[in-house]
Amino acid sequence: MKEKSKLTKDTDKVIQVFRKGGIVIFPTDTVWGVGCIFNNPQAIKRLYEIKKRDAGKPTSLLIGKKKWVDDLADYVSSEAQEMINRYWPGGLTLIFKAKKSVPRTIMGKGETVGLRMPNHPKLLEIINKVGYPILGPSANFSGEKPPNSVKDLDPQMIEGGDLVFEGEAGQGAGSTIVDVTSKPFKILRTGVV
């Protein structure tokens, strides 16, 4: 079975696939994600095609260290920094004005970017060893329910990706999304936080 051959617990293999511009399906502390390295335009295009996601729809980035925010967000208010300190790593995605280092193709309206540091030790280890943020949308087709386990993954999603990193996903609900670009902050989606 072709799907089984894509399953791995080997973090080095996952890191190599990310670095080469591949697409990996992986567990997070919330639901299952599918992603690629953030600075590879071909990989981003392919990820959007696999997910059947509209080209103009923004995608948040998963980061490995809190200090990476400085490289991606144009401005971090003291209140936003307090949220980072309190809820990261965890199920909170914060929307910031993006720096020029963020690919325009993944930005939201007003040149914004969503950032999250997942509370999943293996995934954090992978992201940090890759050395760059990864796109981290949920591993479902647009409009469908995000998967909570390997058995919930659509076979077509597995077929489209290069590798499935085996492990346990977390709380079964998506992250809470908060726009911190203006005050008062706006909750765009309620989730695990």
Query: 131-155: per-residue pLDDT in tens?
Result: 999 999 999 997 888 898 888 999 9
Residue pointed to by tokens 């809470």: 176
Single pTM value for the model? 0.94
54: pLDDT confidence band, cut at 50, 70 and 90?
A: confident
Residue pointed to by tokens 């911190």: 180
Q: What values do phi and psi take at 2, rounded to 5?
A: -60, -40
Please state whether beta strands 24-27 and 92-97 pair in parallel, antiparallel, or not at all (unpaired).
unpaired
How many other C-beta atoms are found inside a 10 Å radius of the C-beta of residue 3? 12
1: pLDDT confidence band, cut at 50, 70 and 90?
A: very low
Query: 87-105: per-residue pLDDT in tens?
Result: 999 999 999 999 999 999 9
